[in-house]
Structure 1
Amino acid sequence: MSLRFAIVIAIVSLLPRPVFAQGNNHGPEQTLFRSANRERTAQGLPPLKWNNALAAAARQHALRLAQQDTLSHQFPGEPDLAGRVAQAGARFSTIAENIAEGPDAESIHEQWMKSPPHRRNLLDPQVDSVGISVAERNGALFAVEDFSLAGGALSLQDQEKVVAAQLQSRGLRLLNYTDDARRTCALDNGFAGNHRPSFVLHYATADLQELPDMLDQRIQTGRYHGAAIGACPSGSKFGSSMYRVAVLLYE
């Protein structure tokens, strides 16, 4: 889904140079930030808020792009987008990323707007925050935009709704056993409640939109037809950037 907008011909051993725009209203990061909000305003969408944690995650990935001299949303040994953003301390319920290489910020933004998936990220009404970073190598700019719907204010009920939507999209019927699921969530393992499930999964995640592989595999067996979801405070064990969830599956 990514576009490489310029090809670096000369290959040298120079390390990439970060081009960070903090305190500089004319740097490439601020240019991309202003351009994104200009496009959103033109579409009647609220402007994105700058998020320092997202910018920190974008910075680490932009440096990797420049070091590798190639475009990828994840390199071997690197956490995925959700992991990078969580490590940087951001909490979210939706996450997306644009990456590109180009000669300048204006060209990069223009090409993103011409690419349907990148344009969708820029104009997504379901995101409200962004962090942007740019690194330079051999005169080429490697840019990363990380978008999110900030999740700090999500209630437990809202967290459960996000997970519930993922389960419903997989054909499961939601059961009104939320109290059981929330009591179960507060445990390290096992089940608490009156309606014993066939399968229980406790997990902590930075991205509520993504179900754990183990849960997906269980659902795909076709054995389960109902589910209950419970969220609970993450506490110091998991950190403020993570959500804590229990999913109960019923045959």
Structure 2
Amino acid sequence: MSTYRFAARAGVVLAAAGTAVLFTSGIASAHVTAKVLGEPAVQGGYTKITFRVPNEDNTAGTVKVEVKFPAETPIASLRTKPLPGWTATIVKGKLAKPITSHGAEITEAVSSVTWTAAAGTRIGPGEFAEFEVSGGALPETDQLVLPAVQTYDSGKVVSWDAPPPAAGAEEPEHPAPVVKLTKAAAGGDDHAAAAPAATATDTHGEKTEAAAAKSSDTTARWLGGAGLVVGALGLGLGAGATLRARRAVAAAKAGN
């Protein structure tokens, strides 16, 4: 077999393997998840949580999503971000044991939030949607487990409520969405999470861009000046050559 054919076949095999990996990983990750994007979720603070809901049915569409907030890890305040075509409903419940948050006694907490699609609206096959909430104060726990229930227009109901697996164990078929929480910094302000790392990065980026622009401008000026010098030299050399040519022609005429 020639080296070319061997390389070609190897490329086909690797491409097929890569496609298989991507396909299987896509299937494995196609479940309801909860993410905190752009900032850490700090215990005792407030944050935004994004629930990503993919549609896993090839013939039906998702028309209702319910997320439950366990009383064991209470959140007293919650707001939803408007989503066209969907109505959000927040339900609160009494706590068996009141808690204290920022000096105030809390006797009730959020028990669930439900998004219901309007007529003609749904998450269709091959689609996903994101539902966002903002709230707190976040409980003092390492992780926030938020079971979800996904309802399809066919009547099928899928509960994403399996607890997180132990280290090294396989992921359950229908895992509950989980948000990891970090401890508040000593002396920090619990009312807000730490500033997004992107802020420092963006600021640094602006300085870098400004420096790059200044450097580019300086280079352009230097090149422009060099161009003028070269142009002047060229004109000088051209004029000298023309003068020498004229003198040679005059000398030739005088000799004749």
Q: TM-score, normalised by structure 1?
A: 0.28
Higher Rg of the two aligned structures: 2
